[in-house]
Structure 1
């Protein structure tokens, strides 16, 4: 990045789940510039050396975590995921959304305590939408998250996976697990997973039937931005 201004401009142009800043020692300058620019993206500082005072300084300015570069990669990855999970409004490794339960650690999806038979990639996609249940995800964002560091397939593969997941979810009596915003992307349809009684009451109150979804391709987490130095946490 071309200095703090370049970092801020990049964050404004693209969506990232978390920013990873690698420094010799915790320094508040870049972080303060990010926060003064009203960029809400969570930030983790990874430093070669640190003192309690330096850690306190960056945390007070707006860092979400500060860890030593010598930290075990598994710990680092767990910390990154924990920050993203908390920012998304989840406080545990098990996400509960009405009848839906997503076990992040077990990589399993259940509806009414019954396992949904998803493939590895289908789980990755479904878990991403569940973790960001309030957000609309573009195909580009999903591709970056699912195939980071790999050769990305064509964007249509996301549409195909969405259709396959829909069919599997519909076997549990849920017709519209995803909301499609044409030309933008997909979002988890929380209302579809509401307990049966509450969903019926809500539908009667509105007096309007939800529009049917289609599997027509849309024409158009963890994304991690490491602005100061590359950081391999795989």
Structure 2
């Protein structure tokens, strides 16, 4: 999953970057409102974490302008202000949730996961697709209640497909959402991951869980 973090406190920005990368997210950074707005409008993120007190354009205006330009990325606002009016203003601007500083890392991670699930129409932390179950809390996938031994990137590929079950997902889109920006988009590594997933999910070749649509990308088999 690819996230944007907009925060002008360089120490906190570094901490958030490390925390989220350690938890398997691909992270882009912005330290002012102008950059945050540009990145939101230019790139497709699974979630944006935006501090209200950004220099240049503040967080409220970043969110308002992004929503006016039809940016639908879920937004979690960070604020050091504990006044309820400012939380309401953030939500009215188009944010989806808020977190007041200081916060516990575990709460931030839980809110990030919940917002990404909701944006995909999934309220339940466990997502079932036929005999395949994705547990977004434990970050594991089971097949007929048996836990699969997946690498971190195999899990990320399957997680993205299961959070977008009706969508045809291109190799480029998958790469952008599981790797940092400088990764080689022409690499065949996604094909390798999908091939491994097919073997682990369908060793007998009967389930056919991941469809390939030639020239378009991948999609979960809707007949699972």
Structure 2 residue 46 is matched with structure 1 residue 17: yes
Partner residue in 2 for 1:52? 84
Aligned residues: 192
1:71 to 1:56, Cα distance in 2 relative to 1, 3 A: same
Equivalent of residue 195 in structure 2, options 163, 172, 181? 163
User: Which one has more relative contact order, counting CA pairs under 8 Å at least 6 apart?
Assistant: 1
Residue 29 of structure 1: aligned partner = 61
Q: TM-score, normalised by structure 1?
A: 0.68
Residues 138 and 12 (structure 1), Cα distance of their counterparts in 2 relative to 1, 3 Å cut: farther
For 1:76-155, list aligned pairs within 5 A: 76-148=108-180, 155=187
Structure 2 stretches of 5 or more lacking a match? 1-29
TM-score for the superposition, normalised by structure 2: 0.71
Q: Which moved more, 1:117-126 or 1:20-29?
A: 20-29
Question: 1:5, CA displacement in angstroms?
Answer: 7.6
How much has 1:143 moved relative to structure 2? 3.2
Query: Aligned equivalents of 1:15 and 1:120: distance in 2?
Result: 22
Rounded to whole Å, the distance in 2 between the matches of 1:180 and 1:151 is 22
Provide the secondary structure at the position in 2 that maps to 1:190.
Answer: coil
Deviation digits for residues 117-171 of structure 1 (CA, Å, limit 9, x no counterpart): 4333322221221122233333344334434499779721111111111122222
Cα RMSD (Å):
3.1
Aligned partners of 1:4 and 1:33 also within 8 Å: no
Which structure: larger Rg? 1
Cα distance in 2, alignment partners of residues 56 and 64 from structure 1: 11
Structure 1 runs not aligned, ≥5 long: 194-234
> In the TM superposition, what is the alpha-carbon distance from 1:4 to its structure 2 partner?
6.9
